[in-house]
Amino acid sequence: MRQGKGRLLIVGLGPGACEWVTPEATQALAEANDLVGYAPYLARLPERPGQTRHASDNREELARASQALSLAASGRKVAVVSGGDPGVFAMAAAVFEALEAGEPAWRGLEVKVIPGITAMQAAAARLGAPLGHDFCAISLSDNLKSWTVIEKRLAAAADADFVIALYNPASKSRSQGIHDAFACLRARKPPATPVMFARAVGRPDEELTITSLAEADPGNADMATLVIIGSSATRVVVRPGSMRGFVYTPRGEGARP
C-alpha cells in the first residue's frame, strides 16, 4: 500500500458478550491489517492469518493512539479497539488528542469511529430501564482529573436529580474514591434512592445487585462494575417469585404511577 493511503478505524467491542459486537465492528476487525489495543481487549478477538496485533498495558492510551496513527500513515488499515463504545471514556478521544498534537500528515488520514454498546446501556437493559429519563455519566477515575472536579460534578448531578452512571468506580490503587462519592451523594439524595451495581455484564460471572442508597456497600464496586444511582423518580417494580425486580425511571418530570 502506498504512503498516506492507510485508514484508521476506532472500534467499540461492547461490554464483553460476543453478541453485543455490532456487524459493522466485526467487518472492520476482519478487514484490518493491524489491531491496536489494551491486551485484554485484543485477547477477546479471534486470531486471523496475516493480521498483526499490537498489545499494550493500561494507561498507555496516547502512546497506543500515536502508534495506530503512525501505522495508518504508513499505508496500513488499522483498527484501534476499545471496550464498550470508543467515544465514552475510551480510545476515540485519545486518538483525536494524539492526532491534534502529532504529525501534520496525520490530519489527512481517513479516521472513522465505529460505535459499540456501552456498559451503561448493557447494565440498564439487564435491570429494566433506569436510564428512561435524564441521566449523566461520570468517571470516578482521578488519573486525568482532580477529585475536587469529580466531587463538584457529583454534587451538581445529585442536586439536578439526574440518574447517575458511575464508571471506573474503584481499583486497587483507587479504593477510597467510591466511598467518598457515596458520602457526597448520601448528603444530597434520599436514603431510599435506588442504587444498582452491575458487575461483569454480559460475561459468565455477571452479577446484578439492586439496593438503596442507605443500604448500598460501596466496597462491592470494582473496575468491572458499573454503578447506577437513581433519581427521585426511579422505581423498583417487585416481581413475584423473583429475587430481583425491574428498575425504571418514568419518562415524565416527577412522574409517578
The per-residue pLDDT for 2 is: 41
Rounded to 5 degrees, what are φ and ψ at 141?
Answer: -70, 130
The per-residue pLDDT for 243 is: 72
CATH number of 120-248: 3.30.950.10
Q: Is-contact 45 37, C-beta < 8 A? A: no
b/e 99-112 (16+ beta carbons within 10 angstroms → b): beebeeebeebebe
For residue 122 the three cell numbers come to 448493557
For residue 42 the three cell numbers come to 485484543
The per-residue pLDDT for 74 is: 96
The per-residue pLDDT for 256 is: 55
From start to end of the chain, where are the E strands? Answer: 7-12, 34-38, 52-56, 77-82, 110-114, 128-129, 135-139, 163-167, 194-199, 207-212, 225-229, 235-237, 246-248
So where are the chain's domains?
7-117, 120-248
Fold of the CATH domain 7-117: Cobalt-precorrin-4 Transmethylase; domain 1 (3.40.1010)
How many C-beta atoms surround the C-beta of residue 232 within 10 A? 12
Q: Amino acid identity, residue 44?
A: R
Q: Is-contact 148 180, C-beta < 8 A? A: no
What does the pLDDT profile of the chain (257 residues) look like in tens digits? 344 479 999 999 999 889 999 999 999 999 999 999 999 999 999 999 999 999 998 889 999 999 999 999 999 999 999 999 999 999 999 999 999 999 999 999 999 999 999 999 999 999 999 999 999 999 999 999 999 999 999 999 999 999 999 999 998 889 999 999 999 999 999 999 999 999 999 999 999 999 999 999 999 999 999 999 999 999 999 888 777 889 999 998 765 54
